[in-house]
Structure 1
Amino acid sequence: MKTLVIIPAYNEELTIGSVVALSKKHGDVLVVDDGSEDRTSEIAESSGAVVIRHEVNRGKGQALKTGFDYALANDYDAAVCIDADGQHNPDEIPLLLKPIVKGEADLVIGSRYLNGAHKTIPLYRRIGLWVLTMTTNVASNVKITDSQSGFRALNRRALESLELNSDGYNVESEMITQLADKGLRIKEVPIHVKYDTPNNHKKNPFSHGISVLAKIIGLIGYKRPLLMFGISSLASFLVAGILAYWAVQPYYHGRNVYVTQAIGAGIFIIIGIQLFVAGLTLNVLAKMVRD
């Protein structure tokens, strides 16, 4: 099987050389330098990788898209994505390729949750990853344990099926939702990770997680509008119920009803009805588009 290892990289001069060298044992290596300001490209090339450089930083999603386009243009049978920071072990690449070689999967995700490796992740990050994975599962209607893992393998069918629009780290969730929609097979295998890497905290975990979550929620709104608007409608009715209860409490004690709270309850009831109707309408439109 002709395999391409794709390494999206941004300012990873400290680790890129070793990641390329270890990855070369398992296929050709392409480094997509996403506008680095250090020696990432130079070191990657001297380590034996083909390098494609973005002149400005366009985000991980666009770096992977460049890599996938290269794989398709050069007739590769499979592509493996691996992070440039050294947290993944390139010697586990065959584990990801095995289900593809055996014809069992189109996308194989390396999961930190199948062998307990996630226990080394700081608690706040584990909570964030759980939220993102659960949200991705709702958007894709599949059950994945580690939706945000950047260590994954795709066969040619999966590469040809992707139409990536993401520019950031929500690309992992977008891959899952797109391929699940098209009926492609997704499988997970256990991997190991290490977090004592030089550039482990290039992004603020909280703001980064919120950004990814917002985009995944956008996917849910686009793909499953009835669910999205239904939950929003339910929340609005819940607020209306609380306000209505608050408004009528004085009445049972011989006093006047709280007018402000009663008006607020009425407004939230109207909002809830509108959200539910919008969800029904968009759900019908989404079904028509899919059909």
Structure 2
Amino acid sequence: MKTLIVIPAYNEELTIGSVVALARKYGDVLVVDDGSNDRTSEIAKEAGALVIRHKTNLGKGRALKTAFEYALSREYDAIVTMDADGQHNPDEIPLLLDPITKGEVDLVIGSRYLNGSKKEIPLYRRLGLWVLNKSTKVASNIDVDSQSGFRAMNRKALEKLDLNSNGYSIETDMIVKASERGIRLMEVPITVRYDVPNKHKKNPFTHGLGVLASIVSLIGYKRPLLLFGVLSMMSFIIAGILGYLALEPYYKGGNVYLTQAIGAGIFTIIGIQLFVAGLTLNVLARMVRE
């Protein structure tokens, strides 16, 4: 199979050379330099990669879409995506390609959870990944290592994926689109290193919240009744608590707390509106899909 190995990169001059050199054993290597201000492009070229450079930082999703457009314009049978920071082991590329070569699936995700390596994941990351994985499952009905960037796909999958995300939520977007369009998917075990340079180019907390917000928007599109139903239930619970606080003094011979009573009424109205909105959007979403 003619294989293209795609490596999106942003300020990865310390690791990109070795990653490219090791990956070249398994196919052509394309590095998409997403607006780096260091020597990422130069080192990648010296290591033997083709480089496409964005003038400004557009996000990982946009970098991957640039690479996918290039792959579709050439006669590549398979595409592998991996990170530029050295977390992924290029020598595991054949593990991801094997099920595709055999025609068993269209998309393979390298998972940190299948060989026990999740124990090496820092605790804060493990918690964040659990939230993102469960949220992705709600959006797609697929339970996988949703944030793994080490993946392989055949040309059929690439042609079917119409990705909208420009940021890090592209991994979840890919899974959701795969579930919608009948793309066969499986996981294989991989190892991941966390002792790499520049491992925190973004604040992990704000990065996780950004990805989660994107996933929630996908849930709102795919399953609006679930999302708005949960928000509605939360509003009713708050209304119930405020109502209890407002009436408790009255039953003890005192007065009703007006502020809490007004708050209970407001959250009750919000809960009703959210539930009605969920029902309406659910009907519209079904009509659009049909």
Q: Which residue is equivalent to 2:284?
A: 285
After superposition, the CA RMSD in angstroms is 1.0
How far the C-alpha of 1:251 sits from its partner, in A, is 2.2
1:116-195 superposed matches below 5 A: 116-144=116-144, 146-195=145-194
Count of residues paired in the alignment: 290
Q: Which residue is equivalent to 1:19?
A: 19
- In structure 1, stretches of 5+ residues that fail to align are none
How far the C-alpha of 1:221 sits from its partner, in A, is 1.0
Provide, for residues 143-181 of structure 1, a one-character-per-residue CA deviation record: whole Å limited to 9, x for no partner: 11x110110011111101122221111111111111111
| Aligned mates of 2:75, 2:259 — CA distance in 1 | 67
Q: Which residue is equivalent to 2:44?
A: 44
How far the C-alpha of 1:135 sits from its partner, in A, is 0.6
Letter in 2 for 1:248: L
Q: Which residue is equivalent to 1:61?
A: 61
Q: Which residue is equivalent to 1:210?
A: 209
Q: Is 1:101 matched up with 2:101? A: yes
Displaced runs of 4 or more, over 6 A: none
Q: Which residue is equivalent to 2:266?
A: 267
| Aligned mates of 1:283, 1:165 — CA distance in 2 | 21
Q: TM-score, normalised by structure 1?
A: 0.97
Provide, for residues 185-229 of structure 1, a one-character-per-residue CA deviation record: whole Å limited to 9, x for no partner: 121110001111111111111111111111111111111111110
Q: Secondary structure at the match of 1:153?
A: strand
Letter in 2 for 1:49: A
Q: Is 1:258 matched up with 2:260? A: no
Provide, for residues 38-95 of structure 1, a one-character-per-residue CA deviation record: whole Å limited to 9, x for no partner: 1111111111111111111111000000111111110211100010111100010011
| Aligned mates of 1:130, 1:182 — CA distance in 2 | 25
How far the C-alpha of 1:259 sits from its partner, in A, is 2.2
| Aligned mates of 1:142, 1:197 — CA distance in 2 | 30
Provide, for residues 92-140 of structure 1, a one-character-per-residue CA deviation record: whole Å limited to 9, x for no partner: 0011111111222211110111111121111011101111111111111
- Percent identical across equivalent pairs? 72
Letter in 1 for 2:136: T
Letter in 1 for 2:190: I
Q: Which residue is equivalent to 2:79?
A: 79
Q: Which residue is equivalent to 2:225?
A: 226
| Aligned mates of 1:198, 1:270 — CA distance in 2 | 51
Q: Secondary structure at the match of 1:202?
A: coil
Q: TM-score, normalised by structure 2?
A: 0.98
Q: Secondary structure at the match of 2:91?
A: helix
- In structure 2, stretches of 5+ residues that fail to align are none
| Aligned mates of 1:46, 1:194 — CA distance in 2 | 25
